[in-house]
Amino acid sequence: MRKLLLLTTVILVGLVFIARLFYLQVYNSSAYNIFEDTAIRKEYNYPKRGYVYDRNGKLLVANQPSYDVMVIPREVKPLDSLELNEFCELLKITREEYDKKLKRATNYSPRLSSPFVQQLSKKDYAVLQEKMRKFEGFYIQKRSLRSYQTNIGANVLGDLGEVNRQTIKNQPYYVLGDLIGKQGVEKTYEEVLRGVKGIKFIQKDRFNKNIGPFKEGALDTLPQPGKDITITIDSELQAYGELLMKNKRGGIVAIDPQSGEILAMVTGPSYNPNLLVGRERNKNFSRLFRDTINMPTFDRGLQAQYAPGSPFKVINALIGLQEGVVSVNETFPCRMGYYYGNRRLTGCHHHKSPVSMNSGIAQSCNAYFVNVYRRIVDKYDDAGDGMNIWAKHAKSFGLGNFLNNDLSVGQPGRIPDGDYYDKAYGDNRWGSTYIVSNAIGQGEVEATPIQLANMAAAIGNRGYYYTPHIIKDIEGDTIDIKYRTPKYTTIDKEHFEPIVQGMFDVYNEGTAKHIRVPGIDICGKTGTAENFIKIDGVKTQLTDHSIFVAFAPKDNPKIAIAVFVENGYWGGRFAGRMASLMIEKYIKGHITRTDLEKWILTHSLENEYKKPYSGEPFKINGETTLQVIDNYAIENPNQSNVKL
Amino acid sequence: MLRENQRRFKFDWITIILFLLLLGFGYLNILSASHEGEITSYFDTSQLYGKHLVFIGLTFLLIVLILSFEAKFYEQFASLIYLVAILALIGLFIFGKDVNGARSWYGIGSMTIQPSEFAKFATALAVAKYISDLQTNMQTLKDQLRVTAIIFIPALLILLQNDAGSTIVYLAFFFVFYREGLQQVYLIIALSLILLAVLSLKFGILITAIVTILVIASIYFFSKKKRGSILQYIVALLVCISFSYGVKLFYQHGLKVHQQNRISLWLRLEKDPAKLERMKKAEAYNLIQSEQAISSGGISGKGFLQGTRTTGKFVPEQHTDYIFSTVGEEWGFLGTSFVVLIFVLLIIRILYLAEGQKSQFSRVYGYGVASILFVHFTINIGMVMGLIPTVGIPLPFFSYGGSGLWGFTILLFIFIKLDSNKINEW
């Protein structure tokens, strides 16, 4: 017995030790991760971010150096008040801000570095650098900021912002203080543009002193520079679009139908991209994002879902031909609207009657398209089946769904189908007469300007389109195959010719007669969409939206465009003029219809936009007078050669 | 029947191999824990690893020396060796040198020597000598007191030199006494007192008293046959309660602040978060760093010379008392369990050999060796892993330091010599 005491104790202790070691080293220990090893300091070397060029090789976005003061709170040596004053003065902050920033950094982590004061100017940096040694725990991290070579295209180019904690959690590549693309191509091509940062692992001792490279630098990596990209935007066209959009709200999207390349992507109101660079970024950013009336950061070309109005009629015409429910020459009477029994379902404006397909499009006759639309829906016994067929065709034009492209924002729009109305009215408790508004692009149909531009491209191409995209070229890389593959609509090619002719006649003798551009065969379609908002809970009608969709030239089109001007009244008034100007600008390179240009630049809709917020009753549409402004363009006779 | 030269070399090779494994592996870890920058020469004696290599070289000379003496020598001169060791300890008060607040070193030129490391084997020899005397009977109080005095004298001297850690090692001899006939009741009392002390510190005197009353009352009611007078139980109870009170008093007033804090950390007594935070930077700093280093090693470790916390010298005293954390970081669970296993095997082997000794002197001495190694092993590794409060004693054959290494080598090899001689004894 006595012999066993020590023996059993020894064995027992051995077992306890091995259990404890198992707990410490196996159970409680995660796989070794050098990034979590506090004994290794990680120093980053940021590569050059790729430049952005426009389709003509013009540099749009470059870089400029920037200097951040970083802090490791644990290593900060308390400063006496003299030193503290000096330091604050160098950084241009107050004592209170100093305390606040230090506290915030400590809260994040006393051991890890976090940004203290960001984006010092070159001058401040030069002064500070000399004295940096005195302030232990602080160091300067050089970074690269964007330098915009232009004042346009904020919504296209996007901006860089500091990466947030959520992103860091999901993408461990980033560390606090890194910059990441927040909008536009900066966001969608972040990984291409940023490159890969280099990293140096440095062995620290327990006093946080560097001892030397970890493993002789075997794990260190060199930074890989970001790649330059060329985007499809024609910066001159973009600038011109932004000029035209001044004092208006809406969007312009222009696409090259033969490649799906987006030539211009205008939203109004917009802002100068330079506002989101440098130390003022945060202030400007919140000012822009909090402007819920003008919403300058809301890209109306991509995100605004409007009722497409009359341009959508051509889709109904195409579907009618494809489904064989109407022939090109068949005519319908129009008695200032469409009558169902004695009830007028839609009104129409004054024009010759009866109308064939060609004049139906050219004159934008509502009654004609309600007839066609009802025949499509009623082709099958069940209106739901008819609607589903109709929706399938409409969707093949890229409507009613996300385009799934390389833009950072987008909206699906809406193409309702049978299920949609079954839900709304109940199964089989509805018929074609319930939903005739879709015939003329009102009702439940919604689309974004880019979807309408793409629709125009598909018509111009007689039945196919390339997914609209912004990337033209990546340095040393190819662009996604999906942007080089045509997508076909469900409408046969031969049905397009009469429709194209109809759209051509819109310019020749129809609703866009007055905005013809000499020498260019433009096919277009005007649109005028009623719209309502709620003011203090009361549904109130506002002045109609002005819409125009076009492509040119008629054969082998080079440009397809959609213009949307909020509360611009009828389609030819604002949107049509702007579309004609954009087309001329792109195809000819200069403007001959200076009368149109002058009209656009001297007319503002600002007063129109103020009405709903005025709190007073107001008039709309024909009862209003248009605001004429003293635009600088008047003072510059050569206004079409706008400086970028 | 056996020829003279054959008898002479009958050393226990298993023990020697285990010893060599510890020595070699220990050296590798000291190299890792002490090198700064590139290692230019392993024999660079300006570096700790270079010095330790010299110590190891001298260790082999020492081994040859120890083994070359006649086995009888150690038994005959045990008292003298003990006396020299005591004198060396006393001499410290006059000629000693203060290092880290403990007066435990003699300085000879640039070298320092720590006599308390040598006092261990001397005490073990003296205890063996006394117990193996035919006159001695461990069952009697007189002999118990005398043999306690043998260990008490060096223990007290070491305690007076401010080296509380090394003092605790002398408790190891309890195992020896128990093996040699100390009554069972001592074991029960010792265990009870340890339990009582921990209970009083952790839960306070009131709860301890209640538990004690319940336990003593149930002993009284369940042992009907030879229950004895109720007065005995009341006295026992009072003794227990006053012991509990004494422990609390001693903890609060008898201990130095850092000792108090170490115990407080171990038993998690501190509830004030601000104070706890302060302790983490002071008393608990070593422990936290050491545990993190061990944890970070994972299953297979970061590799020899690749430990980032070791290289960064995050664990203070890593080459001496905290050497085991280097094993943990660089060799992982495989390395640490290997070391634990080697120690357990070594101690068991010594116990096995001790039980097989024909002379009582050899057996008692062997038991002493096993007990001392065991206590060092338990306290050191337990401390490094946070299982017991921080007590600064080295890991035998492993930690950096000449005195320690030689002290343990002498301790072990005297026994190997005694063991090799057993076939010559009748």
Q: Is A406 within 8 Å of A302 (Cβ atoms)?
A: no
Q: Are residues B230 and B313 in the same domain?
A: no
How many angstroms away from the CA of A10 is the closest CA of chain B? 6
Q: How is residue A567 written in tokens? A: 């509360």
For residue range A376-393, list pLDDT tens digits in order.
Answer: 999 988 888 999 999 999
Q: How is residue A557 written in tokens? A: 């089109």
Residue A479 pLDDT greater than 50, yes or no: yes
Q: Are residues A348 and A362 in the same domain?
A: yes
Domain that holds residue A46: 40-123+137-231
For residue range A300-322, list pLDDT tens digits in order.
Answer: 999 999 999 899 999 999 999 99
3-state secondary structure of A180: strand
Q: Are residues B220 and B278 in the same domain?
A: no
What's the number of domains chain A is made of? 2
Q: Chains A, B: CB contacts under 8 A, how many?
A: 111
Q: What is the pLDDT of residue B426?
A: 52
The CA dihedral of B167, B169, B171, B172, to the nearest 10 degrees, is -160
Q: What are the backbone angles phi and psi of residue A254, rounded to the nearest 5°?
A: -120, 135
In angstroms, rounded to a whole number, what is the distance separating the alpha carbons of residues B45 and B112?
Answer: 15
For residue range B13-60, list pLDDT tens digits in order.
Answer: 999 999 999 999 999 999 999 887 777 788 888 888 999 999 999 999
Residue A169 pLDDT greater than 50, yes or no: yes
Q: Are residues A325 and A203 in the same domain?
A: no
Is residue B319, in this structure, part of any structural domain at all? yes
Global pTM exceeds 0.80: no
Q: Are residues B279 and B406 in the same domain?
A: yes
**B340 Cβ under 8 Å from any chain A Cβ:** yes
Is residue B277, in this structure, part of any structural domain at all? yes
Q: Are residues A156 and A261 in the same domain?
A: no
Instruction: Let me know how long chain A is.
Output: 644
| Greatest C-alpha distance within chain B | 76
Q: Are residues A250 and A111 in the same domain?
A: no
Strands of A569-632 (E only): list them.
603-604, 627-628
For residue range A72-101, list pLDDT tens digits in order.
Answer: 888 888 888 888 888 888 888 888 989 898
For residue range A209-265, list pLDDT tens digits in order.
Answer: 777 788 777 888 898 999 999 999 999 999 999 999 988 999 999 999 999 999 999
Q: How is residue B52 written in tokens? A: 């330790």
Chain A contact probe: residue of B36, B185, B313 with most A CBs at under 10 A: B313
Is residue A413, in this structure, part of any structural domain at all? yes
Q: Are residues B394 and B305 in the same domain?
A: yes
**B385 Cβ under 8 Å from any chain A Cβ:** yes
Q: How far is CA B300 from CA B101, B296, B328, in A?
A: 38, 10, 9
DSSP A301-348: TTT--B---GGGHHHHHHHHHHHTS--TT--B--SSEEEETTEEEEE-
Q: What is the pLDDT of residue A348?
A: 83
Q: Are residues B299 and B209 in the same domain?
A: no
Instruction: Let me know how long chain B is.
Output: 426
Q: How is residue A244 written in tokens? A: 């035209």
**B174 Cβ under 8 Å from any chain A Cβ:** no
**B294 Cβ under 8 Å from any chain A Cβ:** yes
CB proximity under 8 Å: A 33-62 to B: 37, 39-40
Return all residues near A86 (Cβ < 8 A) that are at least 6 apart. A131
Is residue A32, in this structure, part of any structural domain at all? no
Return all residues near A44 (Cβ < 8 A) that are at least 6 apart. A175, A197, A198, A199, A200
Q: What is the pLDDT of residue B337?
A: 95
Q: What is the pLDDT of residue B347?
A: 96
- Mean pLDDT over the full length of chain A: 88
What's the number of domains chain B is made of? 2
DSSP B218-229: HHHHH--TT---
- At A222, which CATH number? 3.90.1310.10
- At A401, which CATH number? 3.40.710.10
Q: Are residues A454 and A356 in the same domain?
A: yes
Q: Are residues B315 and B399 in the same domain?
A: yes
Is residue A18, in this structure, part of any structural domain at all? no
Is residue B100, in this structure, part of any structural domain at all? no
Q: Is A602 within 8 Å of A634 (Cβ atoms)?
A: yes
Q: Are residues A416 and A441 in the same domain?
A: yes
Q: Are residues B284 and B234 in the same domain?
A: no
Q: Are residues B243 and B292 in the same domain?
A: no
Q: Are residues A264 and A117 in the same domain?
A: no
Is residue B5, in this structure, part of any structural domain at all? no
Q: Are residues B221 and B299 in the same domain?
A: no
How many angstroms away from the CA of A19 is the closest CA of chain B? 9
Is residue A368, in this structure, part of any structural domain at all? yes
Q: Are residues A116 and A261 in the same domain?
A: no
Q: What is the pLDDT of residue A79?
A: 82
Is residue A153, in this structure, part of any structural domain at all? yes
3-state secondary structure of A446: strand
Q: Are residues B284 and B330 in the same domain?
A: yes
Q: Are residues A309 and A435 in the same domain?
A: yes
Q: Are residues A356 and A376 in the same domain?
A: yes
Q: Are residues A221 and A309 in the same domain?
A: no
- Mean pLDDT over the full length of chain B: 89
Is residue B350, in this structure, part of any structural domain at all? yes
Is residue B3, in this structure, part of any structural domain at all? no
For residue range A464-476, list pLDDT tens digits in order.
Answer: 999 999 999 998 8
Give me the mean pLDDT over the A554-576 stretch. Answer: 92
Q: Are residues B279 and B403 in the same domain?
A: yes
Q: What is the pLDDT of residue A634?
A: 46
Is residue A3, in this structure, part of any structural domain at all? no
Q: Which residue has the higher pLDDT, B101 or A53?
A: A53
Q: Are residues A303 and A402 in the same domain?
A: yes
Is residue A33, in this structure, part of any structural domain at all? no
In angstroms, rounded to a whole number, what is the distance separating the alpha carbons of residues A572 and A550?
Answer: 12
Is residue B162, in this structure, part of any structural domain at all? no
Q: Are residues B372 and B303 in the same domain?
A: yes
Is residue A177, in this structure, part of any structural domain at all? yes
Q: What is the pLDDT of residue A352?
A: 83
Domain that holds residue B227: 183-254
